């Protein structure tokens, strides 16, 4: 008799892509396994008008899925790692992270070839305060506007002329078969990605040893190391959507390099670090302390 794993996911097109990606990976690694997808609607999906800061931060996209895990209605939950809060409910945690897609932000426009080419006063839409603040630091002459809705909705608003350009994630556009809409990927030096951007994570009950063993087969160790380093910064600063925090780690020849950003309209803090892979979390904690020493915790 086949073993069944129940996978909880949001029902957006991108979330369902992620769920089916994990389902295929698990079933390929374990031929005796059957993964059943349970689509769920979260508060963040239901309210497409309110800014995320008013809804309570990025946890609005995962709370209902975590309740299903806690109540035993689901065995695993699949998330975009950039949506996962820094603190988990008791007994839950990220058990595996799949190999990362391109983590960069994407500049999307029908009229300008790049972010730098936008004319002064152009309307630039993004749902992410992190993105808006970093880009505004480089181009304060643009009109920065909030934009909500799924990827298709945002692209439609761009095509209808509500915006001259919008900022999305390269990974999301690629996964939805919309790579042709990427006008120009933005250099992470200009816009440091969110912690975990481009990575798909699987959350599970930490006492479910059988499921944890199955998930270990699809964990990508390099991605897990980089995302853990990034999330250490978010955890150290008590990250929420109210305080835009960016952290992006890369791994090359055993060395992890980390870029970070914390900012407001008036102040922008950037700290970098580098260490061996074995010392990555200690390095991330040191970088976090440098941000705190520079006043990150006083930013509002």
Asked whether the predicted pLDDT for residue 200 surpasses 90, the reply is yes
State whether 181 and 235 are in the same domain. no
Asked whether the predicted pLDDT for residue 112 surpasses 70, the reply is yes
Is 190 inside any structural domain? no
Is 56 inside any structural domain? yes
Is 192 inside any structural domain? no
State whether 45 and 95 are in the same domain. yes
**CB 165 within 8 Å of CB 105:** no
pLDDT value of residue 240? 47
Rounded to an integer, the average pLDDT of 89-102 is 97
CATH assignment of the domain containing 175: 3.40.190.10
State whether 42 and 116 are in the same domain. no
pLDDT value of residue 239? 56
Is 193 inside any structural domain? no
CATH assignment of the domain containing 259: 3.30.160.40
**Total domain count, the chain:** 3
pLDDT value of residue 297? 82
pLDDT tens string 141-162: 999 999 988 899 999 999 999 9
Domain span at 257: 220-300
**CB 157 within 8 Å of CB 149:** yes
pLDDT value of residue 1? 67
Asked whether the predicted pLDDT for residue 215 surpasses 80, the reply is yes
What's the chain's length in residues? 300
Q: Please name the residue ranges forming H helices in 30-147.
A: 43-46, 52-55, 63-70, 129-138
- Which of the two residues, 60 and 59, has the higher pLDDT score? 60
What sign for the dihedral angle of Cα 111, 112, 115, 121?
Answer: negative
Q: What percent of the chain has pLDDT over 70?
A: 91
State whether 65 and 204 are in the same domain. yes
Is 66 inside any structural domain? yes
Take residue 294 and report the two structure tokens written for it. 């520079």
Q: How confident is the model at residue 23 (pLDDT cuts 50, 70, 90)?
A: very high
pLDDT tens string 239-294: 544 678 999 999 999 999 999 999 988 889 999 999 999 999 999 999 999 999 99
State whether 210 and 85 are in the same domain. yes
State whether 96 and 205 are in the same domain. yes
Distance CA 254, CA 242 (A): 34
pLDDT value of residue 300? 61
Q: What residues are annotated to the active site? A: 83
Rounded to an integer, the average pLDDT of 216-230 is 97
State whether 92 and 148 are in the same domain. no
State whether 211 and 66 are in the same domain. yes
Residue 201's nearest CA partner among 237, 173, 230 is 230
State whether 4 and 58 are in the same domain. yes
Distance CA 142, CA 88 (A): 37
Is 194 inside any structural domain? no
Write the DSSP symbol of residue 208: -
Please give the mean pLDDT across all residues of the chain.
91
State whether 83 and 205 are in the same domain. yes
Q: 159-188 as b/e, with b when 16 or more CB fall inside 10 Å?
A: eeeebbbbbbbbbbbbbbebeebbbbbbeb
pLDDT value of residue 196? 96
Rounded to an integer, the average pLDDT of 112-121 is 98
State whether 93 and 214 are in the same domain. yes
State whether 251 and 169 are in the same domain. no
Is 58 inside any structural domain? yes
Q: How confident is the model at residue 30 (pLDDT cuts 50, 70, 90)?
A: very high
Is 235 inside any structural domain? yes
pLDDT tens string 66-92: 999 999 999 999 999 998 988 899 999
pTM given for the model = 0.89
9 Cβ contact partners less than 8 Å away, ≥ 6 residues apart? 15, 16, 18, 19, 37, 38, 39, 40, 65, 77, 78
Say how many Å lie between the first and final Cα of the chain, rounded.
55
């Amino acid at each position: 008799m086949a073993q069944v794993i129940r996978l909880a996911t949001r029902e957006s097109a991108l979330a369902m892509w992620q769920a089916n990606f994990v389902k295929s990976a698990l079933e390929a690694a374990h031929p005796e396994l059957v993964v059943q997808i349970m689509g769920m609607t979260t508060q963040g999906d239901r309210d497409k008008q309110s800014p995320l800061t008013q809804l309570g931060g990025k946890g609005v996209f995962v709370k209902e899925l975590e309740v299903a895990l806690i109540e035993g209605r689901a065995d695993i939950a699949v998330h975009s790692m950039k949506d996962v809060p820094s603190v988990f409910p008791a007994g839950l945690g990220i058990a595996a992270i799949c190999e990362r897609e391109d983590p960069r932000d994407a500049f999307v426009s029908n009229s300008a070839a790049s972010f730098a080419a936008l004319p002064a006063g152009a309307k630039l839409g993004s749902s992410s305060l992190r993105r808006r603040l970093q880009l505004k630091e480089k181009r304060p002459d643009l009109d920065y506007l909030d934009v909500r809705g799924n990827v298709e909705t945002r692209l439609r608003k761009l095509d209808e002329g509500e915006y001259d350009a919008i900022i999305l994630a390269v990974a999301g556009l690629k996964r939805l078969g919309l790579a042709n809409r990427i006008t120009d990927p933005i250099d992470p030096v200009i816009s440091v990605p969110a912690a975990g951007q481009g990575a798909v994570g699987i959350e599970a009950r930490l006492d479910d040893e059988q499921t944890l063993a199955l998930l270990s087969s699809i964990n990508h160790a390099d991605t897990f190391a980089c995302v853990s380093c990034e999330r250490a910064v978010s955890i150290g600063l008590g990250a929420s959507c109210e305080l835009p925090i960016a952290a992006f780690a890369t791994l090359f020849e055993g060395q992890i390099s980390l870029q970070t950003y914390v900012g407001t309209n008036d102040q922008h803090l950037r700290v970098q670090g580098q260490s061996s892979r074995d010392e990555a979390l200690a390095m991330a904690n040191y970088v976090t302390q440098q941000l705190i020493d520079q006043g990150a915790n006083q930013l509002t």
